[in-house]
Structure 1
Amino acid sequence: MEHANHWQLVNQRLMARILAECSYEGLITPQNKGQDRFELDTGEHRYQFQARRTPWDFLWIRPQTLLRNGFPSSDAIQLVLDCRQAFAMGDITLGNFIEELNNTLAGDLLRQRALAGRTAAQLLDLPPVRLETLLDGHPKVLANRGRLGWGMDDLHRYSPEASQPVSLHWLAAHRATGLRVYGQPAPEQCLTTDDREELAPYLQSRDWQLVPVHPWQWQHHIQPQYAAMLEGGNLVDLGPRGHHYLPQQSIRTLSDLDAPGACDLKLSLTILNTSCYRGIPPEPMALAPELSAWLATTASTDPLLAATGLTVQRELGGVHLPHPHQQQVAGTPYRYREMLGAVWRESLAGKSAEGEQAWIFAMLMQTDADGTPLVAEMIRRSGWSVERWLTRLFDRVTIPLYHLLCRYGVGLVAHGQNLGVIFRQWQPERVVVKDFHGDLRLVEGDHPMQAGMPDSLAGALPRLPAAHLFHDLYTGHLVTGLRFLSPLLEDYLGYPERDFYRLLHDRIVQYQKAYPDLAHQFRTFDLFRPVMERVCLNRVRFRIGYGDDAARPTPTLGPELPNPLHPTNHQTLETCDE
C-alpha cells in the first residue's frame, strides 16, 4: 500500500522518536493512563498516544495514535515548541534545532517516497549497497538527517536516500604543502584505466599524492580555503574523474559502484550532522592502518574470534592536508582542522563470499513503508525459529565483541552503522567491524591486550577508564542496536522482549563459563549490573547549542537505567507504569 500523505507519516514517526527518546533521556515524563495509553502535559498542551514500556525504560510508541489536545497531530516541530520548557534550550539553540529537524524531515520524506510500494521481501532482494541508501538514520538521534550546510539540491544529489551516483573531484598535492600520508593510500583503485595512464606522472612520483575530494566539499570549502595552494601550484586541480560512488548511511563514506567489492572511501564533509561536523581528524588516521592490521591478525589467531569468524574491514591508508593558516591557531574550531582528508578502507561487500549476503547491522532495525521489519522476513527465509536465529546472532555478533573487550581491553563504538553482519542462507554467520579512525580505544592500566600489540599502538591509542570503555559495547551495541530490534520481534513475530534478553543473558553466561580465566575482566566489564549509566546524545545538543568549539562534543548522562540483562529485570516485565 502506498501512503497518500508521506509528509504526515514522516512527521508522526519523528514525533514518536522525539517523545520516546526525550522520555528515555529523562527530559520529559509521559504519564501512564492505564493499559497502553500515555499522556504528556506540556503545560499548555496535552499529547496522548498508545505505547508500551520496554525493558529499557523506553516507550515503544505507535505513531499513528498521536493526538494533540485530543485531535490527530502530525507536526513534529510544534511538538518541540510545546516542550521547549522541558528541553531547556535557549532561543538561539532552539532556532538552530528547528532547522536541523526540518532538514531531517526533508530527508525522511525523500526516503519514504523511495520506500513506497516496496515490501520487506522486495527490499531484501535489493543489492546491499542500494538497500543501505533506504535505511533509517541513527535511531536515537532526533535530528538524524540534520545536515546543516546542505540545501535541497545537495539533498537530491549527495544524500544516501537520493541514491544518486557521485563523481569525485581529484587533486594532486605536493609534499611541500605539508601533506601527511598514512599507511598505503590506494588512489589507483578508484580510477579508470584512462585516468591511471593520464595521471601516471603523479601516481609514480614520490613527491606527489593524489587526493580525492567530495564534490560538495570541493565547491564549498576546498576551492576558497585552499586557494593559496591552488594558485601556488603545490595543489593541482585534476577535475572530476574516476569511478562512480554511492553514499553510505554515514554520508561521507562512499561505496564504489563501478568496482563492487573495491575499497570504500571516507572523505571530509564539513556539514554538521547528528553530533558533530563530519570532517576527518588526522591524529587517529596515523594509527588506523597498523591498528586494523593488528586486529585482523588477532581475529584470525584468537580461538573464539576465529571460530566465530570476526572479520575486519581494514583501513589501508589515508591522507590529510592541514590548512596552512588554521593550523597556526591552537584553539581554532575543530572543523577547520579536518577539512581535507581521505581514508581508504576495505569494503563490506569485499568481505563476503559467494552465496553470502552482507549488510550493516542497522538493516536489522529497518521496516518497509508499511512498518513490516526486514528482520521478520529474513528469519522466515532462514527456516529457523526466532530463538535459534537469535542465538546465532548473539553468538556471532555480541559475544565476539564482548570477548574483544574482556580479553584484549579493546572497545569499538559498535552502533548499527559501524557493524556489518554477513549471512549465509539468511542465517547470521559473522560480524564485521570497521571504523578504527578514532572509534577504537583501550582500557586504562595493565591488561592482557598488550600481548601481541605493537608498542607503537599500545602507547599511542586513547586510554579510557573501564567504566567508559564498557559503554562502547553496552551503549553502542545494546542500547543503540538491540533496544530497537527486540520490540520489532515482539510486535511482528510474537517473541517477547523478556525472552530476548533472557536468551542473551544465557548466551553470555555460557561464554563466561567457557573462559574462567577472564573472571576478573567479567567483573570489570559487568554486563549484569542491575542498573547502568544512561548515556544521552540529545541532551548534549540541547545543552551546548551550535557554537563552534575546539573539540568534538561528548555525551552526557541521564537517570540511571535498569539493565534488561539483570535477572530481576528480564524475568517479569510490566507493560505499564506501576
Structure 2
Amino acid sequence: MNISAFQTTSFPPEKASAHLGPLVWEDVNRHLVHKALAEFSHELILSPTLVSTEGAWGTYEVRPEENGDTVYTFKARRLALDHWSIDPATIEKKSAGKPTPLDALSLILEFAEVLGIREAMLPTYLEEVSTTLYGASYKREERHISSRQLALADYQTIEAGMTEGHPTFIANNGRIGFDAVDYRLYAPEAAHPVQIVWLAVSKERATFTSITALDYDRLISSELDEATLHSFETRLTRLGLDPDNYWLMPAHPWQWFNKLAITFAADVARRYIVCLGYGSDSYNAQQSIRTFFNTTDNRKHYVKTGISVLNMGFMRGLSPKYMLTTPAINEWLDELISADDYLRQNGFSILREVAAIGYRYQYYDQGLKLDSAYKKMLSALWRESPLPRLRANERIMTMAAVLHKDKDGISLVSELIAASGLDAEDWVSAYLKAYLAPLIHCFYRYDLAFMPHGENLILVLEDNVPVRAIMKDIGEEIGILNGSIDVPAEISRISYTLDEKMKPNCIFTDVFDCFFRYLSAILHETETLHEDRFWGLVAECIRTYQTEHPEYADKYQRYDFFADRFVRNCLNRLQLNNNQQMLDLLNPEDSLQYIGELENPLARFR
C-alpha cells in the first residue's frame, strides 16, 4: 500500500480528531501535568512547598506566582536521586479558591517566567506540548495494548506499543512538520506499513561508504529485488542517464514530498537527483521516527533517513559529513568488542551501521559555514537487523519497554518479572549483568561511552529474562573520553576531551539519572522491589565487576561510581532554553546545564 491511499482528499477530515474527546483529554493532561510537576521539580525549576506529612508521603503545593491565587497541590514521595514520585490522582489545581481542570498548556503559560522560556520560543514549545497530548490521546484511544499483552508480544508490536517517549522530557512527541495524515502514516505508534521512496543520486554530489566486507552492489542487490532494480535502471536510461553514474538511495516519503522535491528542486531539475518511485518492501517506523524496520523481510537492514521534522529539541536530519565515517566507526567498534573476552562472554554486541550515503546540496554546503539542519536533509544509512542473531527461545524488545506503563498504570517490567517465574531481585540482577556490566567494562577498559538510553538498546530475553544486550545508534553517539587507546585518524571525531571530573557522567547521568531513576521508582511504586534493594543490586553489579578486574584499580579511584554526589544534568532546561537545537553538536559539553548536585544512592554501599 502506498501513500496515495492516504491522500488528504480521500482521508475523512473527522478521522484526524477521532481519538480526541473530553475524557481522554482530561486523562492525558493529568498525566502530562503530573510529569511536568515531577520533572520540573527534579530539575529545581519548580520548588514545591511541603504543607504536611503522612508517613512517607508529603502534601506539597506550588504556585506560579508567590502569594498568587493559582495553586497546585499534590501528594508525593521523595525517592532516590531526588525523584518526585507523585500520586497523579491527588493533583488538584485551584484558581481564586475554585477547582480548575488540569491543563498542561495552561501550566506552561502560568510558569513561563519561572521556566525561563523566551517568548520567541514559547509558541513552538506550546505546539510541541499540544502534539505530545495529541499523540498520547491516540495511543490511549486507538492503540492501547495492556502491559500483560506487551510482555509476551513480538518485537514490532512492543515497538509500536510504547506510549511515553523519552522519560525525562515533557514535550517528547513534538514531531512538528507532520500533519494529521502524516501522523497516522509515519508515527511509530500508528504501526502503518510504509514504502520507502528511492532516489538515484549523482556520484558527483553524493558519497557512498561501507564497512570493508560490504560493497555497494552487494548491499543494493540484497535490499532490492531484481524486478525493482530493473525498473529503476529502466527509469534512468529512458531519461538518457547512465545508471553507473548514480547511487540508489532511500528517502523518507515525507521528506521527499515536503522537502526534497521542492527545496532541492535545482538538483532535481538538473538530474542530479532522480525520483525512482517506491520500493516493494514494507517497513514500520521505529521509535526514533527516522528509522524503518523491514517487515517484508526482517533479515534485511534497518533503513535510517534524514527527516526535517522538529522533535524533542532537534531537527531530525542526518549529516552527510558524519555519514562519511559512520561505517568505519562501526567496523572499528565491532572489532574492538568482538575481540574482548569479557564482552564476548557477556553476549554484549552492537548493531553495525554497515553503509551510508550522504548528499551535499551545493547551495547550503557552500553558503552555510556553521552546522545547520539544512545541511542534513538528504542522507541515509543501513543498519543490521537483530533478528538473524537470535537463538532458539530468544526474543527481543526495546529497553524503553522496561519503563512502560499502560493506561491503567500497570508496568510492563512487573509483568515481565511475573511471567519469568523469578523473584524481582534475580530478574533485576540478570538485567544489570546484561546491560550495566558491559557499560562499566567499556568505560574502565577503553574509556568508551555510549548513549545507552532505552530507545538505543535492545534487550534479548529468554523465558522473559534479559540474557544479553545489543547497542545501536553507534556512529553519532559513541565517544572515547580522554582515552589512551589508539583511534584511526579517519574516525578521530569520536575522541573527546573533557574535564576529568565530568567523565563519569556518561554513567551517572545517562544511566543512573535518566534511566535507573525511573526504573527504581516504578519497581518501588508497584511494590515489586524496594528502591533501596534496587540500588543495592546496582552496587553489587559494579562491585562484582571491580573485584573480578583488579587491573583497573587506579581508575576505580579516579572515576568512583560510589562517590557521595554527582552533578544534576537538567535536560528540560536545555529544551526550554532552545527547542530548535538543544545542543551545539560540535561542542555538546559546553551546552549542558548542570544545576547543583544529586546524592548518589550508591554512596552508602561504598
User: Common fold, TM-score beyond 0.5?
Assistant: yes
Matched, 1:68 2:96: no
AA matched with 1:59: W
Task: Single out whichever of 160-169 and 486-495 deviates more from structure 2.
Answer: 486-495
SS at match of 2:281: strand
1:13-24 equivalences in 2 (<5 Å): 13-24=31-42
Q: Aligned-pair distance for 1:550?
A: 7.9
Q: Which of these residues, 363, 369, 372, is aligned with residue 331 of structure 1?
A: 369
Q: Aligned-pair distance for 1:138?
A: 0.4
Q: Which of these residues, 423, 428, 431, is aligned with residue 385 of structure 1?
A: 423
Q: Which of these residues, 159, 184, 189, is aligned with residue 132 of structure 1?
A: 159
Partner of 1:58: 83
Residues in 1 aligned to 2:497 and 2:472: alpha-carbon distance in whole angstroms: 20
For the 8 Å contact 2:154–2:395, the answer to whether it is kept is: no
Q: Aligned-pair distance for 1:182?
A: 4.5
Q: Aligned-pair distance for 1:523?
A: 2.6
Partner of 1:482: 516
1:55-454 equivalences in 2 (<5 Å): 55-69=80-94, 71=99, 73-116=101-144, 118-135=145-162, 136-183=164-211, 184=215, 186-199=219-232, 206-331=244-369, 334-445=372-483, 447=484, 449-450=485-486, 454=488
Q: Which of these residues, 549, 558, 576, is aligned with residue 524 of structure 1?
A: 558
AA matched with 2:91: L
SS at match of 1:20: helix
AA matched with 2:517: R
AA matched with 1:15: V
Residues in 1 aligned to 2:567 and 2:583: alpha-carbon distance in whole angstroms: 26
Identity of aligned residues (%): 27
AA matched with 2:522: L
Task: Single out whichever of 30-39 and 213-222 deviates more from structure 2.
Answer: 30-39
Residues in 1 aligned to 2:87 and 2:192: alpha-carbon distance in whole angstroms: 32
Residues in 1 aligned to 2:230 and 2:50: alpha-carbon distance in whole angstroms: 68
AA matched with 1:316: V
Instruction: Spell out, residue by residue over 1:460-480, the C-alpha distance to the aligned partner (whole angstroms, 9 max, x if none).
Output: 423132444432332222222
SS at match of 1:139: coil
For the 8 Å contact 2:209–2:327, the answer to whether it is kept is: no
Q: Which of these residues, 550, 556, 561, is aligned with residue 593 of structure 2?
A: 556
AA matched with 2:595: G
Number of matched pairs: 561
SS at match of 2:494: coil
Instruction: Spell out, residue by residue over 1:58-80, the C-alpha distance to the aligned partner (whole angstroms, 9 max, x if none).
Output: 10122222100173633111111
Q: Aligned-pair distance for 1:264?
A: 0.5
Q: Aligned-pair distance for 1:113?
A: 1.6
Structure-2 change in CA distance of 1:264 and 1:27 (3 Å): same
Residues in 2 aligned to 1:169 and 1:99: alpha-carbon distance in whole angstroms: 29
Partner of 2:43: 25
Q: Aligned-pair distance for 1:292?
A: 1.9
Residues in 2 aligned to 1:154 and 1:110: alpha-carbon distance in whole angstroms: 14
Residues in 2 aligned to 1:478 and 1:296: alpha-carbon distance in whole angstroms: 26
Partner of 1:540: 574
Partner of 2:25: 7
Structure-2 change in CA distance of 1:73 and 1:4 (3 Å): closer
Instruction: Spell out, residue by residue over 1:328-352, the C-alpha distance to the aligned partner (whole angstroms, 9 max, x if none).
Output: 1243561111000001001233332
Structure-2 change in CA distance of 1:525 and 1:404 (3 Å): same
Residues in 2 aligned to 1:550 and 1:394: alpha-carbon distance in whole angstroms: 32
Residues in 2 aligned to 1:40 and 1:414: alpha-carbon distance in whole angstroms: 34
Task: Single out whichever of 287-296 and 276-285 deviates more from structure 2.
Answer: 287-296
SS at match of 1:558: strand
SS at match of 1:501: helix
For the 8 Å contact 2:480–2:496, the answer to whether it is kept is: yes
Task: Single out whichever of 85-94 and 433-442 deviates more from structure 2.
Answer: 85-94
Compute the TM-score of the two structures, normalised by the length of structure 1: 0.92
Q: Aligned-pair distance for 1:513?
A: 1.1
AA matched with 1:298: L
Residues in 1 aligned to 2:365 and 2:320: alpha-carbon distance in whole angstroms: 12
SS at match of 1:534: strand
Structure-2 change in CA distance of 1:127 and 1:468 (3 Å): same
For the 8 Å contact 2:313–2:580, the answer to whether it is kept is: no
Partner of 2:13: none
Task: Single out whichever of 200-209 and 168-177 deviates more from structure 2.
Answer: 200-209
Task: Single out whichever of 260-269 and 553-562 deviates more from structure 2.
Answer: 553-562
CA-atom RMSD, angstroms? 2.3
Instruction: Spell out, residue by residue over 1:15-74, the C-alpha distance to the aligned partner (whole angstroms, 9 max, x if none).
Output: 111111111111111122213222112223110112211101010122222100173633
Residues in 2 aligned to 1:271 and 1:104: alpha-carbon distance in whole angstroms: 14
Residues in 2 aligned to 1:362 and 1:550: alpha-carbon distance in whole angstroms: 26
Residues in 2 aligned to 1:373 and 1:288: alpha-carbon distance in whole angstroms: 36
Residues in 1 aligned to 2:437 and 2:458: alpha-carbon distance in whole angstroms: 15
For the 8 Å contact 1:536–1:558, the answer to whether it is kept is: yes
Structure-2 change in CA distance of 1:525 and 1:350 (3 Å): farther
AA matched with 1:396: A
For the 8 Å contact 1:313–1:345, the answer to whether it is kept is: yes
Matched, 1:42 2:42: no
Compute the TM-score of the two structures, normalised by the length of structure 2: 0.88
Residues in 1 aligned to 2:584 and 2:34: alpha-carbon distance in whole angstroms: 34
For the 8 Å contact 1:537–1:556, the answer to whether it is kept is: yes
Residues in 2 aligned to 1:380 and 1:412: alpha-carbon distance in whole angstroms: 30
* Unaligned runs of at least 5 residues, structure 1: 571-578
Structure-2 change in CA distance of 1:364 and 1:304 (3 Å): same
Structure-2 change in CA distance of 1:547 and 1:174 (3 Å): closer
Structure-2 change in CA distance of 1:352 and 1:114 (3 Å): farther
Q: Which of these residues, 490, 494, 497, is aligned with residue 461 of structure 1?
A: 494
SS at match of 1:221: helix
Task: Single out whichever of 334-343 and 470-479 deviates more from structure 2.
Answer: 470-479
